[in-house]
A and B are shown apart, each in its own frame.
Chain A
Amino acid sequence: MDDALVRTLADIVKVGAPIVLAAIGETITERGGVVNLSLDGSLVLSALAAFIAGTSTGSVIVGALAGIGVGLVIALIVAVCSIELKLSQVAVGFVLTLLCRDLALFLGIPYRNAQVFPTTFLPIPVLKDIPVIGAIFFNQDLFTYLSFIAVAAAWWWLFRTKAGLTLRAVGERPQAAFARGVNVNAMRYLYTAIGGGLVGLGGAAYTLGVLPTWSDTGIVGNGWIALAIVIFGGWYPLRVALGVYLVAGLRAIVTSAQAQVPPQVVELLNALPWLLMLLTLFLVSGPYLDRLLKVLPPRLHPPIRTVLRARPPSALGTVFEQEGRR
């Protein structure tokens, strides 16, 4: 395989790592039925927190924990407002996304382009020399490895463990979960926290990994992309990750085309990921998928549904009330 291509793929995976972390985190949260619209602001604020903590202590771990903490707290605010105060998740999330972004922009002023965080580049000794795969997957920095782990862990957790099954049930039909003895709201709190923590880790990945300096322009807007990719990926971790890499790949293509192509065309090309997502969702969300499924034999349904289905967890955004009880 062409050297430049391999390097590009490795770059895509590296640049996509923070968004992967955020999108996986949001996937988990939404699988539990909670929408965390504060993703974009949360990402930036936790990135700043991670940067400040990391550069002042010189420790990646501390920085990462700071990021995780911030993401966790913000997500919990959404959860508490929804579960205890019955406020709209969308409203609270939207306000939080603006607030956190503005907080980050303000508090980050003294840190602009000030320092560079030492690299967290961690090539793995033997594996990195495997042709192609080694260069892409084992010659990366810490956070990229964490993003791989997050995808695998989320997939395994959701589809191979009992807790993950419970989570999926809570997001689909909380009454049924309740009937089976699940404490629905406790689950929602727990997984919103976990998801938020992952978002925070994604923020840390920016300032401690990808662009190891504090600059708001590289991060703002990526949270929205993560939110969109969760939908586009049908709430399946593997598809979400692929979606992120697809978007990152498109961006990489556009960047490399910058030399040959005039800027106005580049800008239009930047719209491609969104157009692609809209088009795909239009074809899949509508009645077309159902028609397709009717034609195919039942044996094929599970794989087709996994690959194509884009219906949200049925109880997403709803409030769970126990009937007949105070």
Chain B
Amino acid sequence: MSRLARWRGTVLTFSAALTAALALIAVIMLSLDKAPLAAAQRFIEGAIGTPSARADVIMAALPMLLCAAGLLLTFTAGLWNIGVEGQVTMGAIFATIIARTIPRDVSDWGIFAALIVPAELLLAMFGGALWAGLAALLKIRGGINEIFGGVALNFISVNILLSLVNGAWRVGTFPQTAPFAPAALLPRHPELRLSPLGIGIALAAFVAVFMALRGTRFGLQLRAIGRNARSAGILGVRVERNIFWAMVACGALAGLAGAFQALFTRGRLLPNISGGIGFMGVLIVLLTGVRAAWVLPVALFLATVPIGSLKLATSLDSAVQIDAALGNVFQGALVLAVLIGGGVRARLAARRKERSEHG
């Protein structure tokens, strides 16, 4: 099938799925006596209407983008890294190790003040990579399916997090750390609520993954493994080693996302710091059919949902006021519709092929 035809098919499927998901949301809203069209308008306004909203969307997209980029590597290799949520959490925890020790006044730190954030980010990457490496080893050495291992490690990471914010790292009556000092946070733009450094890092990571998949031996090997691990082995690829490093790389990026959550989005460490970011990454990759080029726009698109939903939730107009959770429903419905749409398309294409062979 020609490239253009394929592209057209993808757009068609996506549009159909989008329509279906929106229709579902509209039906739900109507049943609750809300006005879908007005809500849609308010949503769009709220998500991308003002500069501050746009900044919010961009910053919300960054952690998701990081996770999705990392997951591109593991999905390409045919792995289901469900443990990405735990890797985000561990990244946040590890970043906090440094962040919580930074005092308010660092004016006499001189050059070292500039090293704080890089150190936190590197440590966060290490934490996420460690957690992912653990899941990989459980799979490779112990034959433990990576989904089971991932889920188990997700829960364990939450336990570790809760233990820390309830005990050793708690400040005050609530289970959380103190807000981090400004020097520990991701440097922020003076007016808008966004972090150019953060954007730069996320984009760089995404581009790195993109290029790795396209242009490096590692990326090609992952693709071969994902398609047919046996043949890949025969062609000389070291399957287990590559799987391990794909997981570790994904964990590092997820850890970075966790650092962003702790050092920007929330400004401290508290329960549910991962906020479903990891799973969002999975959804993004599923939506794009593991195609790297689409990840950036899809991440931005999905990032508008929580921002816009929040505006709807806090609206004073009762005709459009609706809980932000509906936004999550929309995301899930969209991905499901895209998956089903893809499946239907494939089946129709197979039927057409059969008929032409036998007709």
Contact = CB atoms under 8 A, between A and B. Distances in A.
B347 interface: yes
Given A109-B325, A278-B138, A278-B149, A91 B286 contact: yes
A92 B162 contact: no
Q: Is the interface of B mostly helix, strand, loop or mixed?
A: helix
B145 A231 contact: yes
A86 interface: yes
A95 B167 contact: no
Given A81-B343, A278-B138, A278-B152, A103 B147 contact: no
A132 interface: no
B346 A99 contact: no
A263 B156 contact: no
B339 A286 contact: no
Given A275-B156, A281-B148, A98 B343 contact: no
* Residue picked from A100, A102, A286, most chain B C-beta under 10 Å: A102
* Residue picked from B147, B333, B344, most chain A C-beta under 10 Å: B147
Given A86-B347, A278-B138, A285-B143, A103 B329 contact: yes
A148 to B, nearest CB: 27
A320 interface: no
A265 interface: yes
A224 interface: yes
B160 interface: yes
B141 interface: yes
A246 to B, nearest CB: 15
B159 A268 contact: yes
Interface residues of B, number: 48
B116 interface: no
Contacts of B232: none
B300 interface: no
A190 interface: no
B151 A224 contact: yes
Contacts of B155: 221, 224, 271, 274
Contacts of B149: 278
A31 B101 CA distance: 52
Interface in A210-235: 221, 224, 227-228, 231
A99 B329 contact: yes
A90 interface: yes
Given A106-B323, A275-B156, A267 B162 contact: yes
A85 interface: yes
Contact of B144 (A109, A263, A285): A285
A265 B145 CA distance: 29
Q: Is the interface of A mostly helix, strand, loop or mixed?
A: helix
A2 interface: no
Given A90-B80, A106-B323, A274 B328 contact: no
Given A85-B347, A278-B144, A278-B152, A92 B329 contact: no
Given A92-B336, A99-B333, A231-B145, A84 B151 contact: no
Contacts of A99: 329, 332-333, 335-336
A87 interface: yes
B282 interface: yes
A109 B168 CA distance: 35
B326 A264 contact: no
A285 B325 contact: no
Contacts of A231: 145, 148
A323 B282 CA distance: 34
B245 interface: no
A274 B28 CA distance: 38
B347 A282 contact: no
B166 interface: yes
A41 B99 CA distance: 35
Interface in A254-294: 262-268, 270-271, 274-275, 277-278, 281-282, 285-286
Contacts of B340: 81, 85, 87
Nearest to A263: B166
A285 B343 CA distance: 34
Given A98-B283, A106-B328, A264-B164, A282 B339 contact: no
A64 B279 CA distance: 31
Contacts of B145: 231
B110 interface: no
A109 B325 CA distance: 9
B72 interface: no
Top 4 nearest A-B pairs by Cβ distance?
A: A264-B167, A99-B332, A85-B343, A267-B163
Interface of B: 28, 80, 82, 138, 141-145, 147-149, 151-153, 155-156, 159-160, 162-164, 166-168, 175, 279, 282-283, 286, 323, 325-326, 328-329, 331-333, 335-336, 339-340, 342-344, 346-347, 354
Given A81-B339, A84-B347, A98-B279, 5 more contacts: A99-B332, A264-B168, A271-B156, A278-B144, A281-B144
